Structure 1
Amino acid sequence: MRQHQFAVSLFACLTALPAAAQVGHDHRHPAGESLGRVHFAVTCEPGTQAAFDTATALLHSFGYEEARQAFQSITEKDPTCGMAHWGVAMTYYHPLWAAPTPEELAAGKTAAEAAANLKARSEREQRYIAAIGTFYARTDTLDHRARAGAYRSAMATLAGDLPQDEEAQIFYALAVLGTAPPNDPTFAHQKQAAEILNGLLRDHQDHPGILHYTIHAFDYPQIASLALPAARAYAKVAPASPHALHMPSHIFTRLGLWDECIASNIDSAAAAKRLANRMHPGKASFDALHALDYLEYAYLQQGKDSKAREVLDEVSAASEFDEPNFAAGYALLAVPARYALERRDWKGAAALEVPAVSLPWDRFLYARGLPLFASAVGAARSGDPTRARGSLTELEKIEMAVEKAPPPGPYDWAGQVASLRLAAAGWVAFGAGDNAKAVSLLTAAAEKEEAVGKHPVTPGSILPAREQLGDLLLELARPREALEAYQASLADAPKRFNSLAGAATAAERIGDRTRARRYYEELMALCGDGCERPAAKKAQAFLAAQ
């Protein structure tokens, strides 16, 4: 009952957003528009207030580098402004991304200490500074998770003591999300954060942080639809932010709204490239690469393989980066794997390797598992058992290394790599003729993947393990079980091309022509009559014969 009341309350607030903000068909925006409306009152020199508000708006849309420069500019105009140093420290803590690198941690710690040493003019500001100080304190004895929890606790006290301070509530909601276990089936942290944001939304419908963090709170298959109004509003509210243009596609992807996902990420990638050209000429934008991974995923679900190829070519051309972080590295490896595997180009997948680019792969070793997974699956399915076993062995080494030194933060990257290894091992077993072992391994892969969930860096699995299980069961002439697997996959990842095609084939094989027709119709609605994939040709033939 409480969950139902919460959903009704949230829906009422979100649907009260301005109608123009909810239109889902036009995501084109002129450059240089708004970042949304933020007012974070501080006691620094009066002439810096507008700049502080702008810097905070950038911070809320994860424009960390721009926000850092804006806060640093304030310190130059008012060297006594402790809150400007607070802002700099905040830009080095990315609650929903990866943990700070050692260099970022040191820079953030320096900024937090500078803020504390300046003795802010108000108790309120001193408490904000003290809160971020807890994240940078005792870095030699406390790990990232413990320090993130300490910051969340400090923000909980601050928000509780200052209930009328909207920014305290918003930053506390973000801290809650930043420490939320992604595999909690009750979504307790996410709902807590959403309730905080929901209480502010009606009076602050153009606040970028409220909309942004609401989307993150509901970026899960079971509850994504609740954030659709916020998703459609955010890009309208903050169109000058590349991340704000991209972020709605998290919800569009969860719901299979591919046209909106494509429009969102075309805009985001273009904005990110403009920003990189201004701030880092000649460098590839990590924000653009992140958007391109989501764009690739959407094009492939619509069978727009020529468009997907254009994205692949653009991503593959990247060699130097504005910020060599995990989002850049993940996209660089995910896009080629998606392009090969989604199109069933097994030989192309088998040949994939880590590109020779300058990225600190040791910081995101888990990403290196993607081409190894693709290679193992591609080789196993194209009759190259030697290469399949070799890639699987290398993937096992990646899994052991990530298990030994798991990346900081709440997400279980070791579990994610384990799901890839189990799935790849299943196909290797299938290639070796051990069908029972193959089914067991792919079932375990699906269970592991579903328990771990997805990280926000990715639009979805390179290939959903449950979908792969359906593919295997079809190969083994077990269509009824295959249909169940495809249906389960579609419940988590709706309107996926290959899950629909597999479900249609399975339904046809068990003689359920009604369900087969429904799935084939959904497939053709995705890709249209011009789709060249074999599954689309099969769907056209089936529907024409009815």
Structure 2
Amino acid sequence: MGLQKIMCLTSCNFIIAFVGILLCSCTPKAEKEETLLLGKLPVLGDVPLCGTVQFTDGCGARMDTLISYGLALVHHMTYTEAEAVFDRVIQEEPACFWGHWGKALTFIHPVWPDTPSEEQLKLGGELSQTASSLATNEKEKAYGNALAAFYQGELNKTKQERLKSYEQSWKKAFERYPDDTEIKTFYALSLIATADPGDKTYKNQVKAGNLAEEVLQVIPDHPGGFHYAIHAYDNPVLGKKAIDVANNYGKIAPEIPHALHMPTHIFTRQGMWKESIDWNSRSAKAALANPFQGNVSMHYFHALDYMVYSHLQRGEDKKARRIVVEYKRLNQPFQQHFITAYALAAMESRYCMERQDWEGAANIEVWEHQYFPWEQFPESEALIYFTRGVGAARSGQTEVAAAAIQKLAELQQATTNPYWVKQIDIQKNTVKAWLAYAKGNRKEALATMKSAAALESTTEKHAVTPGELLPAVELLGDMLLALNNPAEALLQYEAALARSPGRLNSIYGAAQAAELSGNKQKANEYYASLMNISADAEIPLDQRKVAMAYLNQK
């Protein structure tokens, strides 16, 4: 897409002669009757600071501003707000290709776990067809074909099947227009969305990350370049490549909750807990201040879950507990989304599981909220019964553990997404393993726990979560340690740390296993690491007492 000139950029305004680049401003000021997440929808003049999208191939200077803004919001994954922007384009220029194309685009959330509704699929298909009929040049046709690929086929076609077609069509568009930054960013996102979780070479992610970095070389504050680089490198192998991007993403969009949160995907992967807490705190405040259609935004709960996880790794239990108390005080509707459901199920569960409060875990309940339909999110509800099952098995409540396994099986039957079906398999096997252990069937217990850990190793952490409630491989280490096999336990704890660096329990387990197997060097290293990571612990952690006693030995 072409580049046009900015005539003047003041401290809070930009004046456009040939409008074509979405740049920066302080606050939105243009008058508009509907209020959105980022304030009032701009037509010309100020827009919220959200990065640069270069766009001049639209339907005139006036529309180029809106289209650029809409694309920036899509790249930040603020889809509902982007939809409203493209609605305005359709309203003002119904014959413009980009309004219809952009609105259909907002229904596609490639890396989110949700699936478009039947209504959205039908409307998106109609909008896609309308856009294609309005295409005035070959490039618009390429954009139209890429979008149409997602909506083609029967309504029962799975999201993953649609995304595969989507990725192939963006690939064709990219091969024809390799220098078009928007095509490049959307192709990168489609590669991330279709990456095989079992591919530990991260082929798609590496390619997508390279494309995102190429975009940032041309447009240093492109929102898609930042956002998709972080998603591409959100894994233990590639995470370090995105630290600079993570540190700067929030600067280009300081009012957008998701932009403030995204850097913490990388910080979490690197065990940078303080940074994760700081950025998620900013994200949560921004989200709470900007409700979603009158509901508490899913971005608020998403940020809180990452904060709880990070606080617990630092031993900051009071802060973690305060967050749980805070969200339970909310007496208003919540955005009904899988991301909300996951966070609500995970936060209190994490508190019990991370502190190995097995009796507390065994007694955890689904938090009934008058405004939230748990029946729509079985994969999230499964977290509660996983927690109950592990807690019950490890506190000797075998009947409760058996009931939890049965409930997990029921929730698995109600789950349609293959990724989460596999996650519930891991959870079921884990509870079964500890139930067998509680009953004295040690051989069966170990074999089942190894099976759960092996299955976990074929998956990748989903972006919705900072980490599993307890990693199966860490729990395998716990079992091996309990079975007096510290040398093998050490290998499992180190595998857990390779996947999730900086986990307090994995570090402690590794330290214990190293000590018991006679590896003094590693015991010293891991105990010292534990003392460092929990230096600001708010409660007298037993792990710190053990570590101090070991390190103070003469």
Q: TM-score, normalised by structure 1?
A: 0.88
Say whether 1:313 aligns with 2:321.
Answer: no
Equivalent position to 1:487, from 494, 509, 516 = 494
Of the candidates 523, 527, 536, which is equivalent to residue 530 of structure 2? 523
Corresponding residue of 1:398: 411
Residue identity opposite 2:92 in structure 1: K
Residues in 2 aligned to 1:353 and 1:242: alpha-carbon distance in whole angstroms: 29
Q: 8 Å contact 1:83–1:129 — kept in the other structure?
A: no
Over 3 Å counting, the alpha-carbon distance change for 1:443 and 1:141 in structure 2 is closer
Compute the displacement of 1:320 (Å). 5.1
Equivalent residue, structure 2, for 1:94: 109
Residue number in structure 1 paired with 2:140: 125
Match of 1:153 in 2: 168
Q: Report the counterpart of residue 243 of structure 1 in structure 2.
A: 258
What's the CA shift for 1:365? 1.8
What does residue 476 of structure 1 align with? 483
| In structure 1, C-alpha distance between the alignment counterparts of 2:95 and 2:60, rounded to whole Å | 9
Alignment equivalent of 1:116, drawn from 113, 132, 135: 132
Q: Is residue 351 of structure 1 aligned with residue 363 of structure 2? A: yes
Residue 58 of structure 1 and its aligned partner are, at CA, apart by 0.7
The 3-state SS of whatever aligns with 2:142 is helix
Q: Does 1:293 align with 2:305?
A: yes
Distance in 1 (CA, whole Å) between partners of 2:130 and 2:185 is 24
Distance in structure 2 (CA, Å) of the matches to 1:444 and 1:190: 27
* % identical aligned pairs: 37
Cα-Cα RMSD: 2.0
Rounded Cα–Cα distance in structure 2 between residues aligned with 1:275 and 1:414: 33
Shift of 1:394: 1.2
Alignment of 1:404-443 (within 5 A): 406-407=416-417, 412-443=419-450
Q: What residue identity is the alignment partner of 1:377?
A: V
Aligned equivalent of 2:465, options 455, 458, 466 = 458
CA contact (8 A) 2:378 2:412 kept: no
Q: 1:271-282 maps to which residues of 2 (within 5 A)?
A: 271-276=286-291, 279-281=292-294
Q: Which residue of 2 aligns with 1:386?
A: 399
Paired residues of 1:243 and 1:287 also in contact (CA < 8 A): yes
Unmatched runs of 5 consecutive residues or more in structure 2: 1-25, 28-37, 39-47
Is the CA contact (8 Å cut-off) linking 1:507 and 1:515 kept in structure 2? yes
> CA separation of 1:439/1:320 partners in 2, compared to 1, >3 Å: closer, same or farther?
farther
Query: Within 5 A, what are the aligned runs for 1:132-281?
Result: 132-140=147-155, 142-276=157-291, 279-281=292-294
Q: What is the TM-score of this pair, normalised by structure 2?
A: 0.87
Q: How many Å separate the matches in 2 of 1:330 and 1:164?
A: 39
Post-superposition offset of 1:480? 1.8
Structure 1 residue 545 displacement after superposition: 3.2
CA contact (8 A) 2:246 2:266 kept: yes
Distance 1:338 1:267, change over 3 A: same
Contact 1:312 1:339 in 2 (8 A): no
Shift of 1:280: 3.0
Secondary structure (helix, strand or coil) at the match of 1:142 reads coil
Q: Which is bigger in relative contact order (C-alpha 8 A, separation at least 6)? A: 1
Q: 1:428 to 1:141 in 2, by over 3 A?
A: closer
C-alpha separation in 2, matches of 1:305 and 1:196: 40
- After superposition, the C-alpha distances for 1:289-319 in whole angstroms (9 at most, x for unaligned) are 1111111111111110001101212333456
Answer yes or no: is 1:72 the counterpart of 2:87. yes
* Contact kept in structure 1, 2:131 and 2:144, CA below 8 Å: yes
**2:504 partner amino acid:** F
Q: What is the SS of the residue equivalent to 1:348?
A: helix
1:323-382 per-position Cα deviation (integer Å, ceiling 9, x unaligned): 311101111101111111001111111112222234454543222211111001111111
Cα distance 1:320–1:454, how it changes in 2: closer, same or farther (>3 A)?
farther
Letter in 2 for 1:519: Y
The residue type paired with residue 286 of structure 1 is: M
C-alpha displacement of 1:146: 2.5
Match of 1:370 among 383, 392, 406: 383
Q: Distance in 2 between matches of 1:223 and 1:130?
A: 32
CA distance in 2, matches of 1:284, 1:43: 35
Alpha carbons of structure 1 residues 79 and 272: separation in structure 2 relative to 1, 3 Å = same
User: Which structure has greater helix proportion?
Assistant: 1
